[in-house]
Amino acid sequence: MASTKKLFSGLTRRGPHRVLRGDLAFAGVPGVVYTPESGLNLPGVVFGHDWMAQAGNYAHTLEHLASWGIVAAAPDTEKGVAPSVLNFAFDLGAALEIITGVRLGTGKISVHPGKRGVVGHGFGGSAAVFAAAGMGGDAHHPKAVVSLFPTVTTPPAEQPASTLKVPGLVLTAPGDQITLRSNAVELARAWDGATLRTVSKAQAGGLVEGRRLARFFGLPGADKDTQKIVRALLTGYLLATLTGDKTYRDFADPDVALPHTETADPNADPVALEDKVVALLKP
């Protein structure tokens, strides 16, 4: 079998499938869906955007997943200054049911109910946890959940995280543990079965695409290196967990060192809120 490093390198590039783009609005939820050109009983995920972002800011990430055979949908809701994490979680769940319950494209594409996942970035990373926790019955639970650089929400996502019985991946950036905005460590600590990995040199907000004037308004801008690394890690993890592809099993193994990451222990030396404040105030 190819080495993990070689597999990672391959996953940074587009996969073998031609990609189609569709509109979720036909089923009542504003948003987009990207699919491989054809395939039945495919794995499928929904993707939640960050605060003050929208589904279109993740087009290349969604296309990347679809090129590797994963149906990827993203609701385009809760885009305002004060979004509701609970409403967004509901929309994520609704979008997942849509892509599972209907034939996509010209009827040649379908998602298997046992190969579903929930993914989110920033605000959407916490919403993904709420969505996964709110899906009733073992048969309807997603098979995997991924929270990319999650951020604090009201209500907090730690409580629903503690109820999750599915494996999860939480990605964090260097220094996130001392920021008031990130809840990656707290989520991973509450979530039994989650793997916390620090992405070396990543920018937590860099996964958002197309924000050319972002820094002018105080928002994080796009970072191509972060996008490249995260897309590979996310794709490998989903292929391993949703499809059971043993080729990529290392991407879901918490004991395996993956390129550009460090596995972190969320229970080691927890950072208290007051310590975060002190760290931020240091010159």
Cα–Cα distance for residue pair 6/199, rounded to 1 Å: 18
The contacts of residue 244 (CB under 8 Å, 6+ apart) are none
The conformation of residue 151, written as its DSSP 8-state character, comes to: B
Q: What residues are paired with 148 via a beta bridge? A: 121, 171
Task: Quote the pLDDT of residue 266.
Answer: 79
Q: Domain with 161 in it: what CATH number?
A: 3.40.50.1820
Give the whole-angstrom CA distance, residue 209 versus residue 64. Answer: 13
Q: Specify the pairing of strand 31-36 against strand 71-75.
A: antiparallel
Residue 273, both tokens: 């809120």
Whose CA is closest to 10, among 71, 73, 70, 64? 64
Distances (CA, A) of 69 to 42, 51, 234: 7, 28, 13
The total of structural domains in the chain comes to: 1
Q: Computed over its alpha carbons, how large is the radius of gyration of the chain?
A: 17
pLDDT tens-place values along the chain, 283 residues long: 579 999 999 999 999 999 999 999 888 899 999 999 999 999 999 999 999 999 999 999 999 999 999 999 999 999 999 999 999 999 999 999 999 988 887 778 999 999 999 999 999 999 999 999 997 555 568 999 999 999 999 999 999 999 999 999 999 999 887 788 999 999 999 999 999 999 999 999 999 998 654 554 455 678 999 999 999 999 999 999 999 999 999 999 999 999 999 877 777 655 554 454 444 444 4
DSSP assignment string, 133-148: HH--SGGGS-SEEEEE
Query: 62: helix, coil or strand?
Result: helix
Determine if the pTM surpasses 0.85: yes
Cα-based torsion angle of the residue sequence 225, 46, 220, 87 in order, rounded to the nearest 10 degrees: -170
Q: Which domain holds residue 21?
A: 4-281
Q: Which residue has the tokens 């987009």?
A: 32
Q: Is 214 exposed, middle or buried (0-12, 13-18, 19+ CB in 10 A)?
A: middle
